[in-house]
Structure 1
């Protein structure tokens, strides 16, 4: 239940979210297996519990939890191309004539259709939390592509979903670089022991440091030559540790033991109650953590309509 990576989106208009309405919308596009001739399917699954009766929306207070599953058949391009090449060579040798692009494309389509039923299937689940009172949708994934896939499918079933990635008024790399230069962050944040530095020149290099003293002369020398911080590991109020990048994506998020113990105590022995208690505590923590983070980074750039 604890989210590990955060890509955060700002609702640009006020939208009323209700569990029953959202449930009906998600139910219009449930996850399903790939058909024999389908490359990919995408749909919603129950975020908690199993079985047909498990709801597609889990609500706790003002927070909503949803999940989607992508199922795709994996056809390596090299395998397809090698098979097509063999078939083309067979035809050219048998008929003593050249196979041109149009016929080659047809052979490729036929090859893919023949291979699809036997292709390996890969499944992936992505989870998101909707916090209408905060005006945020928090996707538990560091990939912008996967987050956008979820949001576009949610927009499809809802009819409208005006969101955009959260942005701040000052370039995050500038703030991260300043924090690295001084060895101090602000707003209850603390610099830890990992960073990634990039040269701003077109052909400039990069440096990745893990478990290093970021106040060392080596790091200072890199900064002095013009490198900027594009990733920095941070902690917040002894509750969270994470790596923040210059796109405001939060990676390797870790909730400290005190929060985990509190969630375990609140949830008791029942698995669903335990998951619900964890979700509530996590979201209440985000309600404090994310505004504090954006404020420390210079303040959030708010949409004009909010």
Structure 2
């Protein structure tokens, strides 16, 4: 329920669907099992699992959706070994060399033969839509995984005018200045883990764990031209996270007091507890997102948005 990663997208115009239209759109593509010749299958599932039948969970003005991906696990080494054996058999039998084009064809045939026997695994990706503020946050640690969800949402709704949020100053520049000054903007506290990257052609990296980032050693790295490309931060004693230069938030952790607050507001059933958690999480992110953008120099929005 509680997001552990965060990628933020901004709607570039008014959200082009109502809640009712969104529910109807998601119902067109329910989650399903992967067919025998498919590498993966995408569809929408209930965010609260068996505790609800709703494809869109609504609380305090937030819309929570969940995409399920079922994929077949076919290790590359298995395919490689099968291909090597097949090529060896052909070369020995026909006394000729098997070249790339034929190898690619053989590889495709082997994959199709092995897929029905491959194990499957399921993965659920959540997204939180805030219609009031015009953003969608995806619980994903990579842009690729987030784009899978957004592409499916775009396919179902017909349109999805969103783009990743940009800030006016490069994130690495802001984080580097914070560590140099040993001071972050109001509401933020610097943690004790960071990654320093050399901006020269060599591009060397230094990973610092459980260190005083105000120490002379760290300051020497910064004086030599390295930039902070990843940094642990704490916001308002409510949310800790790791931010990198690509605006990817990882290791998101909501303070225990927030989780306790959600538990105290909830009823006895699991659905009520999940609903209270969604309300607290959404409200926290609604405060956090603009505060962080301001700390990073302000959100960079194209004219007219």
Same fold (TM over 0.5): yes
Match of 2:176 in 1: 177
Cα shift readout 1:103-153 (whole Å, capped 9, x = no counterpart): 433332221121111112122110000001111100011111000110011
Cα shift readout 1:154-199 (whole Å, capped 9, x = no counterpart): 0010000011111110111111001001111113111121111100
Matches within 5 A, 1:40-55: 40-50=40-50, 54-55=53-54
Match of 1:20 in 2: 20
Contact 2:17–2:157 (CA under 8 A) maintained in structure 1: no
User: Counterparts of 1:191 and 1:119 in 2: how far apart (Å)?
Assistant: 45
Contact 1:19–1:59 (CA under 8 A) maintained in structure 2: no
Q: State the Cα distance separating 1:21 from its structure 2 match.
A: 1.3
Distance 1:99 1:219, change over 3 A: closer
User: Counterparts of 1:243 and 1:98 in 2: how far apart (Å)?
Assistant: 51
User: Counterparts of 1:77 and 1:271 in 2: how far apart (Å)?
Assistant: 41
Q: State the Cα distance separating 1:16 from its structure 2 match.
A: 4.7
Residue 117 (structure 2) pairs with residue 118 (structure 1): yes
Match of 1:75 in 2: 74
Aligned CA RMSD, in angstroms, stands at 1.5
User: Counterparts of 2:100 and 2:197 in 1: how far apart (Å)?
Assistant: 43
- 5+ residue gaps, structure 1, are none
Match of 1:229 in 2: 228
User: Counterparts of 2:261 and 2:270 in 1: how far apart (Å)?
Assistant: 15
Q: State the Cα distance separating 1:17 from its structure 2 match.
A: 4.1
User: Counterparts of 2:296 and 2:98 in 1: how far apart (Å)?
Assistant: 59
- 5+ residue gaps, structure 2, are none
TM-score under structure 2 length normalisation = 0.96
Distance 1:87 1:21, change over 3 A: same
User: Counterparts of 2:242 and 2:265 in 1: how far apart (Å)?
Assistant: 28
Distance 1:49 1:70, change over 3 A: closer
Give the number of aligned pairs: 305
Contact 2:16–2:160 (CA under 8 A) maintained in structure 1: no
User: Counterparts of 1:305 and 1:162 in 2: how far apart (Å)?
Assistant: 14
User: Counterparts of 1:244 and 1:90 in 2: how far apart (Å)?
Assistant: 52
User: Counterparts of 2:233 and 2:106 in 1: how far apart (Å)?
Assistant: 53
Q: State the Cα distance separating 1:259 from its structure 2 match.
A: 1.0
Contact 1:187–1:293 (CA under 8 A) maintained in structure 2: no
